[in-house]
Amino acid sequence: MKNIYRVVCSENQRLYPGKTFIDIYPAGSMRPENSLTHDCLLQMRRMASPGVDKIESGILLTELDNGEISLQYEKRTNYRLRRYQEHLRQRLDPKIIATFKEMKSQNKDRTLEVSLVHMAIMFDLFNTEKDKPLSAREDALIRENMRQKRQAAKRRELIARQAAGKYAAHPEIMLAWKQALYRGD
């Protein structure tokens, strides 16, 4: 059994000189509070330490049964970004592992306590007006729903107009006329 954790490293050397904040949080999906994203963790860090920025995005820490720790960073395609990431790894990996071991020695499963109420307020989840989408997928679904509603309204209008038309009582006359048009008579 392996345990997976999200890791967010943030700093602001101007406001907090020489300080790098390392926040570790479970990434399991068994409990709702453990399914927070890296950005949510950064926002909670910003509440505790305003003005910090994320150094590296997408770090996952995996703890295996034998106690081995593995760090996975988001893959970079650009050569310069890969070199910069390797430089960051040399600096951050020992700090992340030390923070993780310290956290485990204190019998904790996270370094940052996240309040779900604060997260809900921060991301405006209590908003009763659902006029703004939460994601691109939700926006696409809303647009498709609106398009289908417009088509249904046009269809109803067309049917109503045809029902009130000159030949509505005699559909066979309209059919004969359309067949004659098709045949070229």
- Residues whose CB is less than 8 angstroms from the CB of residue 40 and which lie 6 or more positions away in sequence, other chains included: 114, 119, 123
Q: What is the pLDDT of residue 90?
A: 92
Of 130 and 168, the one with more pLDDT: 168
| 24: Cα separation from own chain's centroid | 19
Taking residue 162's Cβ as centre, other Cβ atoms within 10 Å add up to 12
CB 37 within 8 A of CB 8: no
**What type of residue is 55?**
I
Q: What is the pLDDT of residue 153?
A: 93
If you ran DSSP here, which 8-state letter would residue 32 be given?
G
Region 150-155: mean pLDDT is 92
- Dihedral sign, CA of 62, 63, 64, 66? positive
What is the rounded distance in angstroms from the CA atom of residue 47 to the CA atom of residue 10?
Answer: 13
Strand partners, 9: 22, 56
Q: What is the value of pTM for the model shown? A: 0.61
pLDDT, tens only, 38-47? 888 888 888 8
